[in-house]
Amino acid sequence: GQNIDQPTEMTATEGAIVQINCTYQTSGFNGLFWYQQHAGEAPTFLSYNVLDGLEEKGRFSSFLSRSKGYSYLLLKELQMKDSASYLCAVMDSNYQLIWGAGTKLIIKP
């Protein structure tokens, strides 16, 4: 079966750095997405990785290793507004998105 694993919840301190991991086992691979979702709101797109390596976008970076079935989202200089759930999703060989359950990130002052 297809599977996406993420930690359920993480806690970090304002101003610090946090890394949210995502491992996957899917039928084929056509890219990995990260979305941010504040409670009760719509998910919003953060990043897309299809090749191995690090993609940097401001305070957020996303890394992919296809051979290991592994990605992480790195958030730097954490702000209180970064408190949200972070969803990892993989596009399989049929171009269908397989979603992880999301990681709830709690930022403390």
Binding site for other proteins (CB under 8 A): 4, 8, 30-31, 33, 35, 40-45, 48, 50, 87, 89, 91, 95-102
CB-nearer residue toward other proteins: 9 or 77: 9
Which lies closer to other proteins via its Cβ, residue 30 or residue 61? 30
Per-residue 3-state assignment (H helix, E strand, C coil) for 14-72: CCCCEEEEEEEECCCCCCEEEEEECCCCCCEEEEEECCCEEEEECCEEEEEECCCCEEE
CB of 89 to other proteins, least distance (A): 8
Minimum distance between the CB of residue 83 and other proteins, rounded to whole angstroms?
Answer: 17
Q: How far from the centroid of its chain's Cα atoms is residue 27's Cα?
A: 19
